[in-house]
Amino acid sequence: MAAVAATTAAAKEARQKHAQEMAENGDEVPQGYVWKDKIRYGPIELSPPLAEELPIIDLSRLFSASSAIDAAEELANLRSALRIWGCFQVINHGIDISLLENMRQLSREFFHLPMDEKLKYARGADGIDGYGTDPKLHVNQPLDWTDRLYLTIKPDDLRNLQYWPENPISFRDVLNKYTDLVVKIHDELLKAMARSLNLPENRFLKQYGENSSVIARFNYYPTCTRPDLVLGLKPHSDGSALTFLLQDNEVKGLQLLKDDKNWFDVPIIPNALVVNAGDQLEIMSNGEFKSIVHKVTTNSEKERNTLGIFFSPDAAMEIGPVEELVDATRPKLFKTITNYAPTYFHYFQLGQRPLDMLRL
Ligand code: OGA
Ligand code: NI
């Protein structure tokens, strides 16, 4: 018993403390979490204005079977949202509010289980799936004040059920239901995005290939006594092609960097989904759609829970600007790449912009 206890104690010693534990203990913020001066994006502002003009896309209009005018108008809105912001919120998406509520509730319940229970799903040493802190991959990397549960949804054969919580009991079932619906919306939206650029509707989906990737990331942002020093998530653009975020229904925190100049708070629209373009969509669209830089702030009063679903092409596919969008007046802006993820994570953890490495 003593030996077991000692090993457990040693294991506890060795593991990085979770942000949640530090928040609950009232620990001082360790230096490794202080991000200022380490990242060179945008101005440092503590209370940016609300992005009141962040576009809202009404999917019942975009996919209207009865009004071609509505559909055309909403398609134009979609195109301009992706060009100007690289981000928008979707409403009338057809997912039941009770399912969204259920998913949020299960996520909260998971993060509030005792640590030993959560550690049953702890991220392995070599993979990315599982429960854990912001992984420390580089000595100079400022750490994010967040804990997360990262789960591969697709391709099916890369699902690692060992990391899928069985507690709370309906977690897996609800996650499956939610992701099935988000996948359908994603596919229809991606087709609409291609149409908005006068491309055949399967143009981007084809680039995704057969084994495209879908990843779920549950983000838990505990409170922090020094929100002025620490970020829930450092500035980044997503490495995906598209990301769907189920925001917390009450607590703000997500901010967008518009035109590389000003930060804006993303408003909370209850039960809307926040959709943003990631780097691989900016590449495929030859810069027509913008992969938005964003960050997450912390606050001292309320924790925040979000769920991101990340859609990316098959790592084996060649991803580059589609040829219809390259001509004499629109030179090719990006190199063609395969397997973007390792490049992405390398520069992301250093606080640099991975996409910059691919610009021609
Ligand atoms: C992300 C992300 C935003 C949020 O997970 O990449 O940007 O508000 N999340 O959690
Ligand atoms: Ni992001």
Per-residue pLDDT of the chain (360 residues; tens, 9 = 90+): 444 444 444 455 467 899 999 998 888 888 888 876 666 566 666 678 888 899 999 999 999 999 999 999 999 999 999 999 999 999 999 999 999 999 999 999 999 999 999 999 999 887 889 999 988 777 777 889 999 999 999 999 999 999 999 999 999 999 999 999 999 999 999 999 999 999 999 999 999 999 999 999 999 999 999 888 899 998 899 999 999 999 999 999 999 999 888 999 999 999 999 999 999 999 999 999 999 999 999 999 999 999 999 999 999 999 999 999 999 999 999 999 999 999 998 888 777 899 999 999
Residue carrying the six token digits 């799903």: 121
The range of the structural domain enclosing residue 272 comes to 42-358
Give domain status of residue 32, yes or no. no
What whole-number distance in Å separates Cα of residue 221 and Cα of residue 168?
A: 19
> What's the token pair of residue 175?
């996650």
Spacing, Cα 199 to ligand 1 middle (Å): 29
Structural domain total, the chain: 1
What whole-number distance in Å separates Cα of residue 247 and Cα of residue 270?
A: 8
Give domain status of residue 6, yes or no. no
Q: Whose CA is nearest to atom 9 of ligand 1?
A: 308
- pTM score, whole prediction: 0.94
Give domain status of residue 35, yes or no. no
Q: Whose CA is nearest to atom 10 of ligand 1?
A: 306
Give domain status of residue 8, yes or no. no
Burial state string for 287-324 with b = 16 or more CB within 10 A and e = fewer than 16: bbbbbbbbbbbbeeeebbbbbbbbbbbbeebebbbbee
The set of protein residues with a Cβ atom below 6 angstroms from ligand 1 is 217, 219, 233, 238, 245, 253-254, 294, 296, 306, 308
Give domain status of residue 11, yes or no. no
CATH code, domain carrying 225? 2.60.120.330
Give domain status of residue 14, yes or no. no
CA–chain centroid gap for 146, Å, is 13
The beta-strand segments (E) located in the chain are 56-58, 87-91, 130-133, 147-154, 213-221, 231-236, 242-246, 254-258, 262-265, 273-277, 293-297, 304-312
Give domain status of residue 31, yes or no. no
What whole-number distance in Å separates Cα of residue 138 and Cα of residue 39?
A: 14
Distances (CA, A) of 45 to 48, 255, 353: 6, 11, 20
